[in-house]
Structure 1
Amino acid sequence: MPFALYSRSIKAAALVGSGLASFARTRRSAEATILTFHGLSEDSEDQGILDWSLHLPVEVFRSTCSMLAKEYHVISLADLVEARSRGTCLPDNSVVITFDDGYASNYELAYPILREFGLHATIFVTTGFLDGVEMFWFQRADLALGRSQKELLDWKINGKKLRLYLGTYELRQQSLKRLLPELKELPDTDLLSEMDRLEEALEVSTPAFEDLPKAMRPMTWEMACEMSLSGHVDIGGHTHTHPILARCDVMAMRAEISTCRDRIHAEIGELPFAFAYPNGGTDDFTRETLMLVREAGFKAACTTVSGRVHDTVSMHQLPRYGSPESVLEAKATVSGAFETLKDWRQSCRKAMSMI
């Protein structure tokens, strides 16, 4: 386990064991929490994938859902948006489950668990991915570094020189971790050509969809329709090709958002009410993005900025937490223990600065 995740797990265990999570759960019961997942996996030891951070072990998801069903009120994102829009109260300790991208594992692994516990989720799909015409650029980067026969690559990007070591699986993982942030900084018009250049340098071909490892594969529209009709899942928008929208010009942003909306409408039969910004950080969307999302008819949009949903939060900048790596981390997150600890630290710093 990476040190950062190990440290967070230790902190979560301390917050739950000390009783702070129980205290926060009572104190912050009027605030809602939105959790973000991507894919699930049954075998995270498969070395065909370098970055497993997007594919949570299914047993962790099942244990998290079991805990949420017993101790919290899991509501739909639509219910949260309607309540906040009308100024009505949510059930105490409300939690919303969301997924990004549209992996087949959402249907094959997550959907049966949602039905088992009677829970609801919103899945934000990248429509070109489901159409089978637009593979994610970060999947191409992962597989290129993972499948290359080279042991070293010197790479120039964004005015920097990166030495990417590829001699072992662990070194390939580290190199991918260094490369991805640099790729995210590129204008969208340059990103795919950069991926072509990278694959050529690594002497690998762009994989076909049927060559993707199981955990990386997209769901089909038939899967999405079945889940939508079940009452357990809403389908939301996540662009058509998954660009970071702040790296696009306005025309490209509009096309990504509207094409995504229209494809979902055509396949599901309903206009999606919610949207999620790819990557989702504060620098990954702009004022123009917010305007275009509203213009497209989306009533709400989710970020990946950590935070609780309270009365003053913008419906088009909803905060979400990343997927917890354990049930203890899930408890510390949805209870508000992490936020309470952060608040206390800020109060202490402020008090010390006044001495």
Structure 2
Amino acid sequence: MKFPLMLPDFAKPGTTNGYAFLIYHSVAGDLNFELDLPVALFRRQMEFLARVGCVISYDKAVTALHSKNAPLQNTFVLTFDDGFANFYKNVFPVLKEFQIPATLFVTTGFVEDGIAYSIQRHRDHAEAKPVTWEILGEMVQSKLVTLGAHTHTHPNLAGQPQDQVIEELAKPQALFRERLGLEVRHFAYPKALWNPAVEKLVAEYYATAVISGGRKATPEYFNPYRIPRIPIRRSDGWLFFRAKTRGWLAGEEALYVRLRKLHAA
């Protein structure tokens, strides 16, 4: 449980400037892990973002960052990792309702083989079905969903030999091209883990890559292969969600990243 915070109104001066790339994973509410949000909570968050700020596409944000353009206050970018089937059932209708763009980073091996994601968190275990190629194609046609790659089998790339890393980077591109006729330009590191050697290889295949970090992306410190994102968790509650959209809880995410690296070592 997190301690409650007394936060000032979202729109008051003092908001940290930058592009807030938010990370979501699952939106169903029936999976026993932190990164699965109830549908009603997710919809409330989207209504809030659409009302108080400006939700722009991933490509538009990257172009602005490259151009060193300062964002408007309360500028958000939605990203989703993995490619759960509940994205189509629970997220896509909300995106259409509020006309909000989003980028979905897909682990192509699960889609290609139709294998359920096995989610293990401590003693809790759950499984979630992946989307299908047909569904991905339909969502791309809407112009609201952009697809990115999240490797083929979701390994920790920092712990893989070079030839395996190359396969994990190249195979998703080949599948997107073959199944959907798409050239995929953006990448998300599994578990937000990477090292300089992995980053160098990613740069040979993709135009950008996203990590975690918990802070906003700013033109002053922009690295296209280390775009920071802000994870949204079930336990955030409403006040912590609002704080995260302002970039206030970067220290919390830095601790999560450190723990993930220690666990992967």
TM-score by length of 1: 0.65
Equivalent residue number for residue 27 of structure 2: 40
Matches within 5 A, 1:190-209: none
- Residue 218 of structure 1 pairs with residue 205 of structure 2: no
2:244 and 2:146 map into 1 onto residues whose CA distance is: 23
1:332, 1:228 → 2: CA distance? 31
Structure with the higher fraction of residues in helix conformation: 1
The counterpart of 1:30, out of the listed 4, 9, 17, is 17
Q: Which runs of 4+ in 1 moved over 6 A?
A: none
Structure 2 SS opposite 1:89 = coil
1:243 to 140, 155, 179: 155
Structure 2, unaligned runs of 5 or more:
254-265
The residue correspondences of 1:309-320 to structure 2 (distance < 5 A) are: 309-311=217-219, 312-320=221-229
User: Number of aligned pairs?
Assistant: 250
Deviations 1:90-141 (A, max 9, x none): 33321011100000011111000010011010000000011126554x43xx
Seen in structure 2, the aligned counterparts of structure 1 residues 132 and 54 have a Cα distance that, compared at 3 Å, is farther
Structure 2 residue 61 is the aligned partner of structure 1 residue 80: yes
Larger Rg, first or second structure (1 or 2): 1
Question: CA contact under 8 A between 2:116 and 2:130: conserved in structure 1?
Answer: no
Superposed, which structure 2 residues align to 1:172-187 within 5 Å? 174-176=122-124
- Conservation of the 8 A alpha-carbon contact between 2:22 and 2:232: yes
* 2:111 matches 1:122: no
Residue type of the partner of 2:241? Answer: A
Whose strand proportion is higher, 1 or 2? Answer: 2
CA–CA distance in 2 between the matches of 1:67 and 1:233? 20
**What is the rounded CA distance, in whole Å, between the counterparts of 1:218 and 1:316 in structure 2?**
26
- The alignment status of 1:275 with 2:187, answered yes or no, reads yes
Q: CA deviation at 1:39?
A: 1.1
Identity of aligned residues (%): 28
AA partner of residue 253 (structure 1): V
- Conserved? CA contact 1:63–1:327, under 8 Å: no
Alpha-carbon distance in structure 2 between the residues aligned to 1:336 and 1:286: 24
Q: CA RMSD in A?
A: 2.4
Q: Which residue of 1 aligns with 2:208?
A: 300
2:92 maps to 111
Residue 102 of structure 1 corresponds to 83
What pairs with 1:258-269 in structure 2 (closer than 5 Å)? Answer: 258-269=170-181
Residues 268 and 330 of structure 1, relative CA distance in 2, 3 Å threshold: farther
Q: Deviations over 1:291-340 (max 9, x none)?
A: 111101x1111112221111212111011111143333221111234359
Q: Secondary structure at the match of 1:319?
A: strand
Is 1:7 the counterpart of 2:2? The answer is yes
Cα separation, 2, equivalents of 1:56 and 1:85: 32
